[in-house]
Structure 1
Amino acid sequence: MFLDNISKDTKVIYEKSYPLFLEGGKDAVLLIHGYTGTPHDMYYLGQRLNESGFTVCIPRLPGHGTNSIDFLNSNWKDWLRRVVDSYIELNSKYENVYISGLSMGGVLTLLLSAQFNPKKIALAAPALEAKDWRLKLTPVIKLFVKKLNRRKRINYEEEELNKLAREYWDYDWPPKAADLYKLQRLAKRRLNRIKSNTLIIVSKKDGAVPLSVADTIKNNISSKVIKTIVLEKSPHVVVNDIEKEKVADEIIKFFKGNE
């Protein structure tokens, strides 16, 4: 059964991988991390939003931040259900609930917006499209291969991040990439249902998501207010890298504005 595939020793690896909830004002922001990421990617943005008066919720997606076996035993339905529940809980208590997602979190944000119609959403490097052409092949590749070694391995100053890298980032995961591809297809079919005021942030230096994703979203959603920010220097994790201050400033301004 499902529980048999989860080790008794499973733990959250990194203290910043824990979900984060910061009580603030009457308006709340749901922040959604990306594929193989953890809440720590969203901590800086969350703290900035909270300092600006927002209540902030950053859930941990199932299978993320623990270990690769746990990751392989999670799927797109688990990830989507977690953010649906988080949105419903916030929307039951706070006057407005805005949503911002990074990468796959941006795809989940689009799906939530199509269903619940929040007033505003902010998409950070939304992985509705990918530069890696192999993603479209993963529904077939996953039948034969569970993981593939990556040629380039990165070493981090913090040992906990190295542990996460050894569990997640040193490999490609065809079965889970196929789940991401499934979410992309679901979101693309629902783009015309989205009416939320939308901020799209993309970067010229993003190695994972093409700039063209901004046009794909703009040309297909039904929102009256759509704003695009193009960064010059940031790699993929735009909310927690070289231009994170600018990203936070733009999202705060958008959520606090009169759009």
Structure 2
Amino acid sequence: MNLKIYNEKIRLLDPICLPIFKKNGSTGVLLIHGFTGSPHDMNYLADRLYQSGFTVSVPRLPGHGTSHKDFLNSKWKDWLRRSIDAYIDLTIHCDKIYVVGLSMGALLATIVAARFKSPKLVLAAPAFQVTDKRLPLTPLMSLFVSYTRKEPPNFEDASLNKLAQEYWNKIFIKPAAQLYRLQRTAIEHLEMVQSETLVIVTQKDNSVPMSVLDIIRSRLKNQFKTVVLEKSAHPVTNDIEKELVAEKILEFFAQ
């Protein structure tokens, strides 16, 4: 990308979409947001981890937080490359690095943790399985349509409304096909994970079913710890039980 265009995109980024990096202790935590999300989804957890002595990094994945046109031009390997780069950047500052991923970010976190043998891995609402049965069809559907429109949610926060108009008023077929490819790759990498693993799921998740635990159980060689939430919707790191999620992750890291 032309440097001038890149700088202009960064200038136009809403502050809630900016990457987060906070240096504290010698243990780092890489936090990876989800599909159509942004670093904002990890902001509360990043603050809690930083206050508890961790160095934290929340990269903004390519195509996210800017515009739906950027999103349509991004691919799963772009998202993975940014996640890997953020992990490598943390190695400059930290002796060891834990990885946390939300939804699609959990797929990326799995691949990163497997490749770098991260000591600890947290999979929050991990999208190894989704409730939308059309996902396997998206590689074919994407040949004919990039997205379809839907009614966007409405927020009091102007920044969230801006994101809603770009990302949450559409069903993205082309990027969903990339998500499906990433999903297949991440499931294969589950067998390579050596990390101690914490899986967080919620009973009210409309995107990822509870049966995702069966996929993880069948592929992951090590036993894993599970937290089952009762009130949260899909974005568990930024929803009604975010305090509990942060506490459970901090407990897991302290063990």
TM-score, length-normalised on structure 2?
0.95
Q: Which residue of 1 aligns with 2:185?
A: 186
Task: Tell me by how many angstroms 1:7 deviates.
Answer: 8.9
Deviations 1:176-230 (A, max 9, x none): 000100000001122211110000000000000011112211221122x410011
Q: Which residue of 2 aligns with 1:100?
A: 100
Q: Which amino acid aligns with 2:126?
A: P
After TM superposition, the structure 1 = structure 2 runs for residues 128-143 of structure 1, keeping only pairs within 5 Å, are 128-143=128-143
State whether residues 33 and 104 of structure 2, in contact with CA within 8 Å, keep that contact through their aligned partners in structure 1: yes
After TM superposition, the structure 1 = structure 2 runs for residues 56-75 of structure 1, keeping only pairs within 5 Å, are 56-75=56-75
Question: CA 1:133–1:233 in structure 2 vs 1: closer, same or farther (change >3 Å)?
Answer: same
- Aligned to 1:202, the other structure's residue is in SS state strand
Q: Which amino acid aligns with 1:242?
A: I
Q: Which residue of 2 aligns with 1:240?
A: 238
State whether residues 98 and 120 of structure 2, in contact with CA within 8 Å, keep that contact through their aligned partners in structure 1: yes
Task: Tell me by how many angstroms 1:87 deviates.
Answer: 0.8
How far apart, in 2, do the equivalents of 1:233 and 1:58 lie? Answer: 25
* Identical amino acids, percent of aligned pairs: 50
Q: Which amino acid aligns with 1:213?
A: V
How far apart, in 1, do the equivalents of 2:23 and 2:91 lie? Answer: 14
How far apart, in 2, do the equivalents of 1:23 and 1:7 lie? Answer: 26
Q: Which residue of 2 aligns with 1:168?
A: 167
State whether residues 76 and 180 of structure 1, in contact with CA within 8 Å, keep that contact through their aligned partners in structure 2: yes
TM-score, length-normalised on structure 1?
0.94
Q: Which amino acid aligns with 2:44?
A: Y
Aligned length: 253
State whether residues 107 and 127 of structure 1, in contact with CA within 8 Å, keep that contact through their aligned partners in structure 2: yes
> Cα RMSD (Å) of the superposition?
1.6
How far apart, in 1, do the equivalents of 2:93 and 2:157 lie? Answer: 37
How far apart, in 2, do the equivalents of 1:24 and 1:214 lie? Answer: 33
Task: Tell me by how many angstroms 1:98 deviates.
Answer: 0.1
Question: CA 1:7–1:197 in structure 2 vs 1: closer, same or farther (change >3 Å)?
Answer: closer
How far apart, in 1, do the equivalents of 2:162 and 2:70 lie? Answer: 14
Q: Which amino acid aligns with 1:235?
A: A
Q: Which residue of 2 aligns with 1:229?
A: 227
Task: For structure 1, list consecutive stretches of 5 or more residues without a partner in the other structure.
Answer: none
Q: Which residue of 2 aligns with 1:52?
A: 52
